[in-house]
Amino acid sequence: MLQVNFIKENQELTIAGLQKKNLPNAEEAVSKALELDQKRRDTQKELDDTLAQSNSISKQIGMLMKEGKKEEAEQAKAQTGELKSKSKELEEVLREVSIELTEHLYTLPNLPHESVPVGRSADDNETVLTQGEIPKLHEGAKPHWELISDYDIVDFELGNKVTGAGFPFYKGKGARIQRALINFFLDEAIAAGYFEVQPPIMINEESGYGTGQLPDKEGQMYEATADKLYLIPTAEVPITNIYRNEIIDEANLPIKNVGYTPCFRREAGSWGAHVRGLNRLHQFDKVEIVQIRKPEDSYQALEEMIDHVKGLLEKLELPYRILRLCGGDMSFTAAITYDFEVYSAAQERWLEVSSVSNFEDYQANRLKLRHKVDGKTQLLHTLNGSALALPRILASILENNQTPEGINIPKVLQPYCGFDKI
């Protein structure tokens, strides 16, 4: 959530940033935030003055009674009664305008970093690195949705029977590869200094608002309506919310956590060949890395996280590229995002497998996540990254490593799988 004082002191910068994120009517949105803030300040001052006046008069009542000025004391009592009634009205106005201001600020996206390119869609993203050799497949090579059927390692029909479309069963060696990838990603993160946590896969409303998933403008979260709980879209949400309403001791920074969870996304409106097979699911597995850093260290941490994901893809021997997302293709909460895509040789296209983002202090302001600097509290910066999401990684491994004799397993995964070929 943007800070009102920052908006007030940097109006043109805020408007330009919101426009870069393609927010309609950015100027009006900024003006409304400042008007609500001024109304809140004016109401607070009037309330403070009213309470001060009431307290001052209340102190006089006892003196007037001692001096025998009963009539004047009664008048003072009546006046304090009126002031108390007025203060209650002002308190209600203050409460309402504070809620309205907070709800308005929730509608404003994070401002993009200055290096974020201008653009409206994925077509405007910048390719910053392409790495690895694209494999040349044998004649008759198949896309992964045919391979998984041929080898009976992922079953979409069974998932559709039990739950619905987008909830596949992984079977036999398919299940073992899933487990191998999860363990490999976790081991690599732990070796890089991340602390493993296994968080809940449901969150409450406070957590959803804390990291910016709520309000859910696109309706992408599954909700357990009876209890107002939500199935998580990523482990980022529960892991980052560990530190909601916390003041972190300097000695405990930086914080580096990793967690594996199933993830759930409704992906409402998704259809077509580009979402076939494992390309887009309603439930999928992912290992997520999360960092909490001091503001001056967060961009160094971002580079470290990017290098970590690069290392995973190189060990899996997958060709990949890194994109710096434009303002229009970034998430609501991110200040900067780098997407990793792996090349699917059978589909002949790039598949997104990771997003690594710095949210700067946007989430921290929602979370009230702070540390102390020279005795004063200061917001921290939050970062996260997929390291990695499994479905498209599995799709690429299957497609890129297929041979007429079977599918070769990357060497780094063989000890985890217990086999080297399907």
- The label of the residue with tokens 């990357």 reads 410
Q: Which H or E run includes 17?
A: helix 11-20
Distance CA 274, CA 23 (A): 27
Q: What is the dihedral of CA 244, 109, 360, 292, to 10 degrees?
A: 30
Sheet holding 229-231, edge to edge: 202-203, 229-231, 223-224
Structural tokens at position 340? 């990793």
- The reply, when asked if residue 266 is annotated as ligand binding, is yes
**Is residue 384 marked as binding?**
yes
**Residue 396 among known ligand-binding residues:** no
112 Cβ contact partners less than 8 Å away, ≥ 6 residues apart: 17, 20, 21, 327, 330, 334, 335, 336
Instruction: Give the whole-angstrom CA distance, residue 353 versus residue 321.
Output: 10
Residue for token pair 């696109």: 218
DSSP state of 251: G
**Does residue 67 have a known ligand-binding role?**
no
265 is in an annotated binding site: yes
236 marked ligand binding residue: no
Q: Is 270 labelled as part of a ligand binding site? A: no
Contact 109, 332 (CB under 8 A): yes
352 is in an annotated binding site: yes
- HSE, CB side, 13 Å, CA atoms: give it for residue 130: 6
Q: Which two tokens stand for residue 358?
A: 């710095």
Q: Which residues are annotated as a binding site?
A: 234, 265-267, 288, 352-355, 384
Q: Which residues are annotated as a binding site for L-serine?
A: 234, 265, 288, 384
Q: Which residues are annotated as a binding site for ATP?
A: 265-267, 352-355
